[in-house]
Chains A and B, each alone.
Chain A
């Protein structure tokens, strides 16, 4: 069995914790995010004949008051970049966090999740740029933690990439 440390990265209130809570096994309270800046959950996935464990480091959202600790990024095998479709600026923050992750652990598999698709009519983010990102090799998924839309798919997509990286 393979285990991977996966960081949930994104701006404040983009829905990282809500996405994680959908399927994960958790023993820790969310209060850890306010005290330690991280809450750790676990997600097991079966892909074909392989099983993998994703240890999800749900980091406190990056904002003007809270900075993601670089030490928490150390040792990550992959990450989920989360942006809020209703707040376009959160995509920029996601990319900033991506850069910090790469600086800490190198090029690791990532997926980009644009959350809150249930509020699509309120989105301010330019969806046209998603195509460009996909062409650049990014895997971009539109998710809704509230509707449970694409959440499982997002984690499975990342898991696939992690396994691919591990076997290469």
Chain B
């Protein structure tokens, strides 16, 4: 059976070979290709891209299926060497971060823009024009104008060796040996890294000394360092990153295999051009800021001058107005002369000085006052003036109301006399009421004549000496006037009027007018003026003394002839003298005529007869 079976298989194989022929050989080849990993992977590799492309066109199933695998690959790659992954992502991460930062800054600038839009200034207007012209947001323009900086040198340094790959420097700047500088920068970077346990792959960001800053931007294989004078904007850092990315992209392979040959880099200085930035506050375009400033100054100067003049004029007017509003001032004019404000007008000397006005006023210049004195009729000035002129003593009160001055109290006679003398000189006083003003008594008020002394003691006035009746009469009036006088003692006072009356009477009574015989009258023998003067004195003195007086004119005759004739003759002779007195103006009321009673003297001779032919005088005072 076993042999039969073997023969059956052989037959079957023979039959299959006859039926399938070349296909069988192809099947065998396919099996070998599938079973060989090398050939199978090679063939799959050939069709895999196309297959993945086809699959992605039909849907995301393949991508979704690969997600876990790719994630695991990334995870393992990072775990194995993070630097490789970081290097691979370097060209991608930079732009992505910049895009995010750019968006953030854009929003910030928009906010700043809104804020700045509210501010109005010439500079702002200029920047707005620039913003409109360039399309750059206004805030960014403002930011750029606020910064002044200049990149002086750019170093592209091989990161591993510190060797300088290429360098750009400004011609106007003294560039030290860039090879040594770049190596020293690397040394400083290493020094800092070693000294302060800096995280691996980190480098210095910047070095700042005075106005110079060195910004350092590291890449996977190269370091870009720029030396800056001034304050550079952060956009320069972005430019450095872009430059470094460009270097890495274009020269990455050369950098990776760098063995000291710097020739490939020396030809690519153009890569660093972008970093050679400079920003000046005043650009070369258009009119320079200095010229604008000069023009502005030239424009501002006359404006300032006009404004200053207006302000000064306003200040002067304000000062004059203030001065004119002061009581006691009348401004008649004001003008400026040689920078000095000269004010003309009238000023009551009782008014306050204008210094206080100067302190309150905004006027800064010099002021000259030319005031003529005058008397203000304002009530406060009238009252003040009255008080100043009258200088009321203690006990006297002045009240002034609407032109009416009331004076009350007690004052000395001297002040009162001065009051009466000065009141008319005080302008503005329309009426005066001093009815209640009392005069304080003094002995001087009695005005004693020489030879009279007066003493006052407890209201009693003692008068000594000699005085006439008129003055004595005034004493009584004074006593009535001053209540503080209780009495006047004149017992020691001699009345000179009475003395004079007695003297005159005696003199008149000594006078005699003699006549010739019979009716012969010789008017020439009468001294009429003397007699009448004496008579008049006597009458006046008696009147002063309030006494009644009668001047008797007695006529006499000698004994020759009858008694009746002689009486008649004596009367006729007396009448004759009286007529002479009448003619001299003596009032007849004071004259009385008396005739002969008997001869004056016994007649023994012609002489006695002649003695008796006379007229004599007799005065009666009661």
Contacts and interface: CB of A to CB of B under 8 A. Distances in A.
Interface of A: 1-5, 25-28, 32, 36-38, 40-42, 52-53, 55, 57, 69, 71-72, 74-77, 162, 166
B263 A71 contact: no
Interface in B471-526: none
6 cross-chain pairs, A with B, having the tightest CB-CB distances, nearest first: A75-B161, A71-B190, A75-B160, A2-B260, A5-B161, A40-B183
B252 to A, nearest CB: 18
A3 B164 contact: yes
Contacts, number: 79
A5 B186 CA distance: 11
Contact of A166 (B161, B162, B181, B261): B261
Given A5-B162, A5-B163, A77-B260, A42 B194 contact: no
Interface stretch (B54-62, B172-180, B227-235): B172-180
A41 B180 CA distance: 6
B173 to A, nearest CB: 15
Contacts of B621: none
A46 to B, nearest CB: 15
B162 A25 contact: no
Contacts of B261: 1-2, 166
A2 B177 contact: no
Given A27-B176, A55-B179, A74-B160, A1 B263 contact: yes
Interface in B145-182: 158, 160-164, 176-177, 179-181
A40 B182 CA distance: 10
A3 B188 contact: no
Interface in B171-210: 176-177, 179-181, 183-184, 186-188, 190-191, 193-194
Contacts of A69: 190-191, 194
Nearest to A52: B260
Contacts of A52: 260
Contacts of A72: 187, 190
A69 B187 CA distance: 10
B292 interface: no
A26 B160 CA distance: 22
Contacts of B188: 36
12 contacts: A3-B164, A5-B163, A25-B180, A28-B180, A28-B184, A32-B184, A41-B180, A42-B179, A55-B163, A71-B190, A75-B160, A166-B261
Nearest to B262: A3
Interface in B49-73: none
A103 B619 CA distance: 175
Contacts of B262: 1-3
A1 B261 CA distance: 6
Interface in B215-261: 259-261
Interface of B: 158, 160-164, 176-177, 179-181, 183-184, 186-188, 190-191, 193-194, 259-263, 266
B191 A36 contact: yes
A72 B184 CA distance: 10
Contacts of B266: 1
A75 B191 CA distance: 15
Nearest to A36: B191
Contacts of A36: 187-188, 191
Given A40-B187, A57-B187, A75-B158, A3 B163 contact: yes
A36 B183 CA distance: 13
Given A75-B158, A75-B162, A166-B259, A5 B183 contact: yes
A27 B193 contact: no
Nearest to A78: B260
A107 to B, nearest CB: 14
A1 B180 CA distance: 16
A27 B179 CA distance: 11
Given A74-B160, A75-B158, A75-B162, A55 B180 contact: yes
A123 B598 CA distance: 197
B187 A53 contact: no
A11 B161 CA distance: 23
Contacts of B164: 3
B260 A166 contact: yes
A38 B160 CA distance: 17
Contacts of A74: 160-161, 190
A66 to B, nearest CB: 13
Contacts of A26: 180
Contacts of A37: 191
B162 to A, nearest CB: 6
Residue among A32, A74, A75, A166 facing the most chain B CB atoms (10 A cut-off): A75
Contact of A4 (B160, B187, B190, B260): B260
A26 to B, nearest CB: 8
Given A5-B161, A77-B260, A40 B190 contact: no
A5 B179 CA distance: 11
Contacts of A75: 158, 160-163, 186
Given A26-B180, A57-B187, 10 more contacts: A1-B263, A3-B260, A4-B163, A27-B177, A55-B162, A55-B183, A69-B190, A69-B194, A71-B193, A74-B161
A162 B176 CA distance: 26
B183 A57 contact: yes
Nearest to B193: A71
A40 B164 CA distance: 13
B258 to A, nearest CB: 10
Contact of A76 (B161, B177, B181): B161
B161 A53 contact: no
Contact of B179 (A3, A71, A77): A3
A30 to B, nearest CB: 13
A69 B179 CA distance: 21
B142 to A, nearest CB: 41
B261 to A, nearest CB: 5
Given A3-B262, A4-B260, A36-B188, A27 B160 contact: no
Contacts of B183: 5, 40, 55, 57
A55 B151 CA distance: 25
Contacts of A4: 163, 260
A127 to B, nearest CB: 33
B167 to A, nearest CB: 12
A124 to B, nearest CB: 33
A137 B362 CA distance: 99
